[in-house]
């Protein structure tokens, strides 16, 4: 693997990591808002 291929691989992995982070944060926010909505309905 050349240095150029290695850099491209690292760039792709970094982009994928940011995408996974965004999805996880979105799910956390979704669950949080669902929990808040359910708690406000039961009161």
Report the pLDDT value the prediction gives residue 10, as an integer from 0 to 100: 94
* Cα–chain center distance at 41: 29
Two tokens, residue 1: 């693997």
Radius of gyration, alpha carbons of the chain: 19
User: Which residues, 6+ apart, have CB-to-CB distance to 9 below 8 Å?
Assistant: 1
- The pair of three-digit structure tokens given for residue 4, joined into one six-digit string: 């150029």
pTM: 0.72
Residue 41: the pLDDT is: 86
- What confidence tens digit (pLDDT) does each residue in 1-43 have? 899 999 999 999 999 999 999 999 999 999 999 999 999 987 6
CB-CB neighbours of 40 under 10 Å: 8
């Amino acid at each position: 693997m050349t240095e150029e291929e290695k850099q491209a691989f690292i760039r792709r992995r970094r982009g994928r990591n940011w995408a996974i982070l965004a999805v996880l944060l979105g799910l956390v926010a979704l669950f949080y808002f669902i929990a808040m909505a359910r708690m406000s309905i039961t009161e």
